[in-house]
Homo-oligomer: A and B are copies of this chain.
Amino acid sequence: MSKQMREAAAAANAQAIARLRAAGLRPTRQRLELARHLFTGPDRHVTAENLHGEVVGAGIKVSLATVYNTLHQFTGAGLLRQVVVDAARGYFDTNTGDHQHFFLEDEGTLIDIPGDAIAVSGVPQPPSGLRIDRVDVVVRVTREN
């Protein structure tokens, strides 16, 4: 392991610790590893199962239950958002900003659509006593032909 790699790893770690502390979450071993995997690099969309597989594949010992707990804690802390596109599977998104999604039905993958690219107009007044929490747009795409 080169000096640069060691330094980059240390930086990613420090950043993950800071992020957890800021969210009021104790930076435990598994939370740290999950945070590093989720928040190092570009935004991503993960499934509990696939994040667990990835982290376990990287040699870290975490249970699937902890992955579920952690994803929900991160979501509660505003570090992640849930995306509902598939009745059979829950997705978590590291991009918590204003944006929407393409959903590739065949692949089961999500692609971001920037929030300033897309707009929804003509949403009626919600029934009285109710407030709009959010407006989700899912553009479902399939292979042509």
Interface residue ranges, A against B (CB under 8 Å) = 82, 84-87, 89-90, 102, 104-105, 111, 113, 117-124, 126-127, 129-144
Contacts and interface: CB of A to CB of B under 8 A. Distances in A.
Copies of this chain per assembly: 2
A123 B89 CA distance: 25
B135 A111 contact: no
Nearest to A89: B87
**Residue from A119, A121, A122 having most chain B Cβ neighbours under 10 A:** A122
A113 B124 contact: yes
Contacts of A132: 139-141
Nearest to A86: B84
Given A84-B87, A104-B130, A113 B123 contact: yes
A47 B26 CA distance: 40
Given A90-B87, A126-B141, A105 B120 contact: no
19 contacts: A82-B87, A84-B84, A84-B85, A84-B87, A87-B87, A102-B126, A105-B133, A113-B124, A117-B122, A118-B121, A118-B124, A119-B122, A121-B121, A123-B139, A129-B144, A131-B141, A131-B143, A133-B142, A138-B138
